Structure 1
Amino acid sequence: MTRTTPPRPVDVEELFPELVALRREAVRLHPRAGEPSPSESSVGGPLLWPAGEPWPLCPSTSHPEQWGQPATQGPVPMVPVIQIHRKDVPQLASPAGADLLQVLWCPFIVDGCPTATPRVIWRSSAAVGPVVAAAPSTVGTAPRDSIPAPCVVHPEPVVDYPSWDIPEELSPALQVRMEELEARTGLWWGYHLAEAPGIKLGGYPSWTQDPCWPDCPSCGQAMDHLLTVSSGEYDGESYRTWLPLEDRDSETGEEREDATGGRGAHRAARLMIGDAGGVYVFECRACPDRPVAHHWDCS
């Protein structure tokens, strides 16, 4: 099933023409619980990983006790975060010869790992050949909150506008009009109208705290935002503008409950980054080897 973000209830570019030049294209992945195969795009699903290629391990061999988990010594396998085929997301800015994006990270990425930079891999899917049967298990050795549950995805292109990333010289004048809009409509710019929440490619990071853009260690330029992995598809009242139409109750506008009384769209991947925060993955597209960095925050 497709997923459709409702049109913004106000004309953003008419109200705030200064932001037209700052609009960015993003792709909301809309993960939903499922059983994706290694040949499909997914969040937390099995990867199209070559059988003859070693599975990546976290560079750190010691992870401290946290969240009720005992300290872990020895290599920890990285866990699949996303796999995206360019056929499903034509907007994917892949390097020449690659049509498959795979992102993995250490399951101790939040607080417990000093070298937790995610692993970003670009491949040609046609060159993979035989694949591994399954990723190495981390059950019982790693916190579950940063290990995405297997989900199918429903990619949807959307437009992002900045909130935290509004240039300082524009902020004072815009702030006055944004507060007027909120008083008139109840729509908070950064919460209801700016950048899309959830798990997405491109656009602006869905920051929970102040922005933290890394610079490339090789060329010194600000890195490009590749991926946001948020704890939920939406947050609290932001369902008003960000919950897809297909998941809405026709009477209340809130998320429709399933047969068990659950709400599968909200936290389909069952992630909790810190306290309802997110992980932001960056890469430098100006450098041939595309260096990678990340930042995480919480509410």
Structure 2
Amino acid sequence: MPESQIYIPYRKGFSFKIRYLNPNWGVLHICSGNNIALQVNIRSHENTLALNSLINGAWGTQEEPAGFPFDVNQEIFLSVGAGADGFYLSAGIVGSVVIFTYKYAYRLPETQGLYLIYTNYANLEDCTILPHDSELIGQSIQSESETSNKLSLTDNVESEPAYLEFSDINSYKFYEVNVDRVEIITRYGRIGTSGQTSRQTYATPEKARIAACKKLNEKLQKGYVPAIIGNRPPRPPRSLDIAQFIRLTWKPIVTDGDSSLLSSKFSGLPWLRKDEPWPNCPICGRLMQLFFQLNMNELPEPVRFEFGSGLLQMFYCCNWGCEGEVESAVVSYGRTADLNKNLLIRLVQPNGEASTAPIPLALSDYFPAKTIVDWQQLEDYPDAPDEIVANIYGWEEVNNEEKQDEIVERLGFYDLEDYCEHRLTYEGDKLAGYPLWVQGMEYSGCPICHEPMRQVFQLASEDNLPYMFGDVGIGHVLQCRTHKEQFAFIWACS
């Protein structure tokens, strides 16, 4: 369907008025299901108004009434009312009396679920739906400013639901919109089910109607077509089950205070070699905070030594004025991964004598320590269908929107928004599992082998550390599966 076309719910007992800026080749359809109950084809270059109907795929006899105003240098109003026995047309020059009237008898045995489609020769903002009154025929059509109140959608006007369907090899879904005064009621889901319902309220009925039209047109541009409820049987559910993609993740259980140098912890005193200086920021040169230390020997059994041996430490610069630097990853999967540089992530082997130096006094705002005493196992689910696309089709397809839509449908969700509303990705600090991407997948590739890295640890703003990544952002420590000394840190906020 061309982008110039607009969809407006319409029904018997109502009329609409459109202001044409240039009626040359303006084509208007009033449809019922897959039939065109009335086509209004304005051909000003031929001084011809052609009216016809398309019923069950066949055009009928064309009617060409005389008297339509074809002056393209003036603004023209066209009114079409859906009466009991036919469409009532009237038209005229703005500011003058109605100079054209015509009745077009219904050719469909039953007209229901009417909707209006017209091209960009008319303006959506200038189309209004009103209770039909045949007595208006013959009265003058005033200027828009003189009739602004009269042409407004009145509070007691309610439209019939507009129902669309979309079906292809991977999709089988419906979309229904109903305007009830100032409220839009949207129902959507898989054909043959009751679907889900959402409601939105607007300041005026006009704004609600215009918003509903825009919603419908967005779907039409995506290939949806008007349909009649119940004409298609339910489709059997597809094969994918979200449970196939569960990963285990572990939430840290903590107690306040520090423990031994070898313990897993947030903040506190890290294990450093004897005489080893406290790590400095590679950007500003000042001392960095210990964000966390994980003892690989104490991790849950399924991931013990999965990420290496010894201690995994992350130091991060929180100094005022150090904005840090980022650089784009050599290879990214999803969005371009911006890697933070004002930090140190490393695996150390706690062999030999350890430093006994206290936390440097220069770190006056050092975070309170929390010791990780246990791990709570949770089931984690992909934050976005990209993860499943990569699992099924390979990483080269993660930005393929068609594949993402297919996965969403096969999982039984209506669309990506529906999937995201029901995602079960744990959002706090966690070990392993799926990253909860704030702005979309952005895995970094390993700088050595270019393979996608995997998540080792997720840090959420102000969970176990009193630190905010931007505006409630989330950070991810990534590691190459093969080259375990290669780490990356990425964070994003909304």
- Does structure 2 retain, via aligned residues, the 8 Å contact 1:46–1:134? yes
Indicate which of 22, 26, 34 corresponds to 2:249.
Answer: 26
Alignment pair present for 1:162 and 2:382: yes
Matched, 1:229 2:455: no
Shift of 1:216: 1.3
Matched, 1:86 2:296: yes
2:349 to 124, 142, 145: 124
Separation in 2, partners of 1:208, 1:137: 35
Q: 1:45: Cα distance to partner?
A: 1.9
Question: Paired residue for 1:100?
Answer: 311
Higher strand share: 2
Q: Does 1:35 align with 2:258?
A: yes
Unaligned runs of 5+ in 1: 1-13, 62-74, 183-187, 233-266
Question: In 2 relative to 1, CA 46–173 (structure 1 residues): closer, same or farther, beyond 3 Å?
Answer: same
2:383–2:435 Cα contact (<8 Å) kept: no
Q: Which amino acid aligns with 2:295?
A: H
The counterpart of 1:136, out of the listed 356, 360, 365, is 360
User: Following the alignment from structure 1 to structure 2, what is the Cα–Cα distance between the partners of residues 32 and 51?
Assistant: 28
Q: 1:217 to 1:81 in 2, by over 3 A?
A: same
Greater length-normalized contact order (CA 8 Å, ≥ 6 residues apart)? 1
Cα shift readout 1:190-244 (whole Å, capped 9, x = no counterpart): 4675221211121111222212111111111111212111014xxxxxxxxxxxx
CA 285–228 in structure 1, closer or farther in 2 if over 3 Å, else same: same
The answer (yes or no) to whether the contact 1:16–1:174 under 8 Å persists in 2 is no
TM alignment of 1:174-189, pairs within 5 A: 174=408, 177-178=412-413
Distance 2:368 2:358 in 1: 14
Question: 1:195 and 1:15 mapped to 2: Cα distance?
Answer: 23
Deviation at 1:84, TM superposition (A): 1.4
Residue 477 of structure 2 corresponds to 281
Match of 1:291 among 456, 464, 486: 486
Give SS of 2:455's match: strand
- One-letter identity of the residue aligned with 1:33: D
Q: Identify if the C-alpha distance between structure 1 residues 192 and 80 changes in structure 2 by more than 3 Å, giving closer, same or farther.
A: farther
Q: How big is the shift at 1:111?
A: 7.8
- Write the deviation string for residues 245-283 of structure 1: whole angstroms up to 9, x where unpaired: xxxxxxxxxxxxxxxxxxxxxx44222111111111112
What do you get for the CA RMSD once the two structures are aligned? 3.3
Aligned equivalents of 1:15, 1:277: Cα separation in 2 = 35
- Alpha carbons 2:435, 2:458 under 8 Å: kept: yes
Structure 2 unaligned blocks of 5 or more: 1-236, 327-339, 390-400
- Aligned partner of 2:448 among 218, 221, 225: 218
CA shift, 1:108, in A, is: 5.2
Contact 2:258 2:265 in 1 (8 A): no
* Structure 1 residues 51 and 193, CA gap change in structure 2 (3 angstroms): same
Cα distance in 1, alignment partners of residues 429 and 469 from structure 2: 12
Letter in 1 for 2:325: P
- Counting aligned pairs with the same residue, the percent is 22
| TM superposition score normalised by structure 2 | 0.40
Q: TM-score, normalised by structure 1?
A: 0.63
Cα 1:268–1:224 change in 2 (3 A) is closer
**Which residue identity does 1:105 align to in structure 2?**
Y
Query: Letter of the aligned partner of 2:304 in structure 1?
Result: L
Change (3 A) 1:35 1:214: same
> Given that residues 429 and 464 in structure 2 are in contact (C-alpha distance below 8 angstroms), is that contact kept between their aligned partners in structure 1?
no
* Count of residues paired in the alignment: 225
The 1:139/1:52 distance shift into structure 2, 3 A limit, reads: closer
Per the alignment, in what secondary structure is the counterpart of residue 379 of structure 2?
A: strand
Q: 1:88 to 1:298 in 2, by over 3 A?
A: same
Q: Kindly indicate whether the alpha-carbon contact (under 8 Å) linking 1:110 and 1:273 is maintained by their aligned counterparts in 2.
A: no
User: What code does the residue aligned with 1:82 have?
Assistant: F
Deviation of residue 109 (structure 1)? Answer: 11
1:37·1:45 contact (CA, 8 Å) conserved in 2? Answer: no
**2: CA distance between counterparts of 1:25 and 1:104?**
26
The 3 A distance-change label for structure 1 pair 40 and 111 is same
C-alpha distance in structure 1 between counterparts of 2:446 and 2:378, whole Å:
27
Q: Is the 8 A contact 2:251 2:430 kept in 1?
A: yes
Deviation at 1:106, TM superposition (A): 2.1
What is residue 263 of structure 1 aligned with on the other side?
A: none
